[in-house]
A and B are shown apart, each in its own frame.
Chain A
Amino acid sequence: MLSLSSFVQKAQQLLDPTQGLSISSDPDRNPSKASLFQSQFRLPSSQHPLYEITAELTIPPANATQGDRDRDRGFQYAGKLHLSESFLCFSTTPSSFLQSATTATSSIFTGQTHGGGPNGNGFTFPLCAIRRVERLHSANFQFALAITTWNGVSQEAAKDKDKKELREQRITLQLAGSRQACERFCDGLKRGLRANVGNVAKLKRVIAECYSEYLLRPDDQKNAVPPDAGLGMLFKYPGDPKKLRDRAKMRLWAEYLRDNGRNATLLRQPTFHKLIRVGLPNRLRGEIWELTSGSIYLRLENPTLYADTLAEFQGKESLAIDEIEKDLNRSLPEYPGFQSDEGIGRLRRVLTAYSWVNADVGYCQAMNIVVAALLIYMSETQAFFLLSALCDRLVPGYYSTTMYGTLLDQKVFEALVERTMPILWEHLVRSDVQLSVVSLPWFLSLYINSMPLVFAFRVLDVFFVEGPKVLFQVGLAILRINGEELLDAADDGAFISVLKSYFARLDESAHPASENPKLRAVTKFQELMVVAFKEFSGITHGTITELRLKNKDAVLNNIESFAKRTAIRNLGPDSKLLSSDELGALYDRFYGVLYERQQRDQLLKQQEQARRAKASRSRIAEAASEGHGVEKGRVGLGPSTSLMDYDAFREFLAAMCKWAISDSPAAPRRDPVAEQRGYGSTRRAEPLSPWGSGPEPADHEFLQRLFRNWDTDAASTLTLQKVVSGMARIKGKRDIMGSINYFFELYDDDGDGKVDREGILRMSEALLFLSRRGLEGASSSSPALALGPDGVVGPGDVPGQPVSERFLGSVSAFIRRCFEYADPDHPRNQPDGSVQDVGSKLQATRLDEDPAGEELANPDAFAIGDDDDDDDDDDDLLAMDSPPGSPKAAAARPSSHPPPALPANDNNPTARRSVSKAQSEKANIALDPANPLHITLPTFRMVVLADELLEHFFETAFPASFHVIEGLASAASASPAGASSLTTFTSLGLGGAARAISGAAAPSPAAPAAACAACWTTS
């Protein structure tokens, strides 16, 4: 697992080697300004901070409802004005999301605002909600804008022109900045307004579903049908409306909305936040949740998404739907709405639609409870978008398939308890009570399933404005208030029962014995809110972010090691052939490669975007290029790819097999001066190799074969299961026969037990490929000569000659023997006369001064067996005598010896020595595509076992060349090996032979028989 977590760092160092530990590729650690901006104003991820400017907002004095007030002054707020693609936002909290601002400026500020929500005073106007912008003349050369909104637009159709002016919402903004900056901002605003005029119809549609429109409807529409404000309208809202003082709250809100605009045109002033803290009125609750969470902006972006999704997937089935179905009857079953088909139907539709649009999350138990709660106060469509906002922003990762967000926040909560209530923490540790078994449901269901509904909704009211820190503050307050009793509880049961009885008495007096009637009137719930937000006011969004960062790796590692244990246990019978260390290592390598590739892809894409943005000098593109969600693919973060394609497979092998590393890595693909606009500072990015920090993998025909062989169902991708099964066949049994059989199978394409001429050539080519960096494993150093089954002296030890070099000889003998013992496909059909031409072409020659370009390109040219068998010490090396490194060495020229037409099945051993020349020529005949032949597995086995080195190769070296556990880090040639370390014909000064083989390998439709892919020598 270590390897996995280090990838983040690796990837980051690639981006910016100077940046040390601040991880730029991790959006949590170093969030982009765009994402900070989005979370500050709760905007969709399509929005980027394009322009910002310091400004002063003047809200005109409230109209009639507020009675006599100073009509001239109104309310003034200093703050920052931001413009994105579709929004104009103002906040009094100091903030900057400019490209030039440091990330710290942006993120410190998110910490200050306790969760980034729309906490300060100001507004978040969709540009389509702005009706008119006028430039005001002002004396001091300053820019002042008057902004008129479409406040109340949904009712205007019915009204005549003059009347509406009465309710017109008009604010002014005094811009503070250089003339140029002001001009730029205004230009941007103008463009944005123009681009967004088309959205006014959408806006009308969206706000028509807002209860405030109905609440503030003009007198002539008194009989209008109210919009859907949840199941509560049909089944009553939970709690006693009198006790909740619902009417009074509604009156206050009506007044506030009348003065400050409603829904899309709402202005946030201090009263707004106060009204939320005392609890929202039932019918407005859904709308305010929608506003404060920002889900209304998601709805505005795509108002028909919910209905469209339902229509699109009508009648389709899925696992998520099955799971949803099981839970429908146990979602707030005590609420009458959910004992009815109406309520159940709504719940089913919202959960189902969401499971389709976010298939990664699908459905997670607890979502049923949360959505059920939302549906009491809002329409299906509203609940659908609010669920999106929850899953994507407010409680990210809570409901994912690994639930890492849930587990992470439990760790964070524990850390906070330890920090703020050390005595209680001590007690928990001592009595072996795990806090999270108690607190997990609080967070996962946002207290909805833990407290009586009326109180849980009060928590939600604050949660949607102030963000996730609220869940922690409330949780801490619960423990603080019950601290003494909890110190007496010694096990899970006692602990749970203390809290359960506390929750049951939240509506009781917190101080029943008090003399003071005011104090007596304070309920336990009120006390809870006070403790949560006063005593734990120090718990900010910044606190939570910091603790999440601190615990993130540990949590992910836990999840991943759990997932790993599970996966390894479920790998099936083949996995039993490998050791558990090997399985663990394979798992790590498999997901490591996938994860790293995914990261790299993202980074490359970002670099590319940044480069393009820079080139085009487009602010929008530049802003858009800031990464979000670079971090993908970690198993712990939920579903990502678990399929390995061929390129990933190459990379996977290159990390553990010397032979799988390319000999001649391509030059870095990326422009080395490509620059990345960093967060706040322009810095130079290292060019990113498409292979990351690892070596570039080879691309050899053998790798393709291996991939295809492991890809048992021809899906063109490998699962971990397939990789393990494949590896089990190579490393699992560790017997030579199995190894030989497996190699043969790799080349027996149609599985008929025969490998034809082409296959034989490819096999030998692969043997050379696999051995070019030497043979591995305990080398058989016994110098004894091995006797082949036919009594011929095999390629034994030659004193002073390294094993790897001798192996070349073995391979050469291998080819010769294969052809020698091959069975003709049609023995009767041996052509005679016509063979000559072809055969002579095949004859490779000794040194030839002739450039013979044409011949070089001749794919039929395959140099083999040209030397003399009688030459004991110098067996079978191919075209030995080419001068070292001679580029022209590999010419083929017509042979002076026409190959005699020997019977192909003549393998009389006694005749061999004397006719070695003839034999080599016979072998060349064997190369003739016109003479189809093949070897069978027994022949192959025999040929292999005839050679000590080949035997060693199959018994030890090949399986040992897969360094599954230790990888190549310790192996000698972990770094891209220079040509000098290769054992090839070229490096041994046998360039001619090598070229002859590669010549034969050059792909040409004319000679498929000899087309070995030998890119490792040519590339």
Chain B
Amino acid sequence: MADSAPKPSSSVKLVLLGEAAVGKSSLVLRFVSNDFQENKEPTIGAAFLTQKCNLPTRTIKFEIWDTAGQERFASLAPMYYRNAQAALVVYDLTKPTSLIKAKHWVAELQRQASPGIVIALVGNKLDLTNDGAAGGGAAGAGACDDDDAAAAAGEDAAGDARKITTEEAKEYADEEGLLFFETSAKTGYNVTEVFTAIANAIPETSLKTNRGPGAAHGARHEQPGIDLGRQDDGASRDNCAC
């Protein structure tokens, strides 16, 4: 960060929703720690993480609520999306039911969440598809909008686990006015792009400026004794590809 004068910084509350095991926690972990591993975190209700994202003109601090996977926790979701400014609705490219669930969450957010909420639809586990294998190496290269051709080409190949075509999801996302990405938390492909796009899409007016020393902490509320030693330095690191 070469900037000498601190850029204006604001915090954005972001909530992750989606069927269990689509990779929500993995996406967050990739974004916050640039890591991929089995989730060891005991999540009660939702896990809280923070990460900063530097834009040319400002810094966005994401306050991320990663909701728990179990179906019955769904009725707690309103508690977390209530005043969220952004949402990541995740589905698994290899699991058709997960898109149905994702559509449900989109509908829920559009009806129940704050009016201006920015929603990104994210198809995860791209590495399991043929185009994922191709694009996996080029992690972070280009937004998925450029991918359409590659995706179309890959679909016919054998051994492709993809069950939801890019076109189908993209069309739906366009209809509903959602940001749309296909990602792999495993390879890291397109992950930071999602968050950057969200950061850019948050209207300037809905940003509240951070204040107070307390707000500088990046913190997770789990009991210290259970903390797996992951540093709380997420907030100070800047791995947002901007």
Contact = CB atoms under 8 A, between A and B. Distances in A.
A403 B76 contact: yes
A359 to B, nearest CB: 14
B212 A488 contact: yes
A16 B62 CA distance: 56
A680 B86 CA distance: 56
Given A403-B75, A493-B48, A503-B224, A437 B80 contact: yes
A563 interface: yes
A388 interface: no
B221 interface: yes
Interface in B103-135: 103-104, 107-108, 111-112
Contacts of B96: none
Q: Is the interface on chain A under 10, 10 to 19, 20 to 34, or 35 or more residues?
A: 35 or more
Interface string B62-74: 0101001110111
Which secondary structure characterizes the binding site on chain A? helix
A720 interface: no
B44 A500 contact: no
A439 B213 CA distance: 23
B217 A494 contact: yes
B103 to A, nearest CB: 8
Closest 3 CB pairs of A and B: A497-B219, A494-B214, A497-B217
A387 interface: no
A489 interface: yes
B225 interface: yes
Contacts of B65: 437, 492
B220 A434 contact: no
Given A437-B79, A488-B214, A569-B104, A333 B226 contact: yes
Contact of B11 (A491, A497, A498): A491
Interface in A359-418: 364-366, 368-369, 400-403, 406-407, 410
A162 B17 CA distance: 71
Interface stretch (B35-43, B139-147, B160-168, B183-191): B35-43
Contacts of B76: 403, 406-407, 440
10 contacts: A333-B40, A402-B75, A441-B221, A445-B44, A449-B42, A449-B223, A497-B219, A503-B223, A565-B112, A569-B107
Interface string A448-474: 011111000000000000000000000
Given A494-B212, A494-B215, A441 B78 contact: no
Interface in B186-214: 210-214
B59 interface: no
A98 interface: no
B222 interface: yes
Given A449-B44, A491-B13, A562-B75, 13 more contacts: A364-B72, A436-B79, A437-B80, A440-B76, A449-B223, A485-B214, A492-B65, A493-B219, A497-B219, A565-B107, A565-B112, A566-B74, A566-B104
A364 B42 CA distance: 12
B218 interface: yes
B68 to A, nearest CB: 6
A485 B212 CA distance: 11
Contact of A332 (B107, B215, B226): B226
A330 B11 contact: no
A290 B112 CA distance: 44
A494 to B, nearest CB: 4
B40 A492 contact: no
| Central interface residue in B13, B219, B221, by most chain A CB within 10 Å | B221
Contact of A490 (B42, B103, B104, B212): B212
Interface residues of B, number: 53
A496 B212 contact: no
Contacts of B9: none
B83 A500 contact: no
A595 B240 CA distance: 52
Contact of A364 (B70, B74, B80, B220): B70
A368 B75 contact: no
B94 interface: no
B102 to A, nearest CB: 12
A333 B222 CA distance: 13
Contact of A496 (B82, B107, B220, B225): B220
Interface of B is mostly: mixed
Given A437-B65, A451-B223, A559 B48 contact: no
B72 A403 contact: yes
Given A434-B79, A449-B226, A490-B212, A499 B63 contact: no
A489 B212 CA distance: 7
Contact of A365 (B43, B74, B211, B212): B43
A504 interface: yes
B87 interface: no
Interface in A326-372: 326-327, 329-334, 364-366, 368-369
A326 B228 CA distance: 18
A930 B114 CA distance: 71
A25 B83 CA distance: 38
B225 A444 contact: no
A563 B77 CA distance: 12
A450 B223 contact: yes
Contacts of A332: 42, 226
Contacts of A488: 212-214
Interface string A137-181: 000000000000000000000000000000000000000000000
A570 interface: yes
B45 interface: yes
Contacts of A504: 224
A493 B63 contact: yes
A444 B45 contact: yes
A565 B108 contact: yes
- Output the residue of A364, A489, A494, A563 with the most chain B CB within 10 A: A494
Interface in A539-590: 558-559, 562-563, 565-566, 569-570
A870 interface: no
Given A365-B70, A565-B111, A434 B82 contact: yes
A562 B79 CA distance: 12
A402 B72 contact: yes
Nearest to B80: A437
Contacts of B169: none
Contacts of B223: 449-452, 503
B45 A563 contact: no
A319 to B, nearest CB: 9
Contacts of B40: 329-330, 333
A369 B44 contact: yes
A626 B222 CA distance: 44
Contact of A437 (B46, B70, B214, B215): B46
Interface string A295-317: 00000000000000000000000
A519 interface: no
B50 interface: yes
Looking at A451, A493, A494, A503, the one whose CB has the most chain B CB atoms below 10 A away is A493
B82 to A, nearest CB: 6
Nearest to B77: A562
A499 B217 CA distance: 12
B198 to A, nearest CB: 17
Given A333-B226, A402-B72, A492-B63, A441 B212 contact: no
A323 interface: yes
Contacts of A453: 225
Contact of A489 (B38, B43, B214, B228): B214
Nearest to A505: B224
A432 interface: yes
Contact of B39 (A330, A400, A440, A485): A330
Contacts of A706: none
A521 interface: no
Contact of B41 (A323, A330, A452): A330
Contact of A438 (B11, B210, B221): B221
A493 B235 CA distance: 11
Contacts of B226: 332-334, 449
Nearest to A365: B70
Contacts of B41: 330
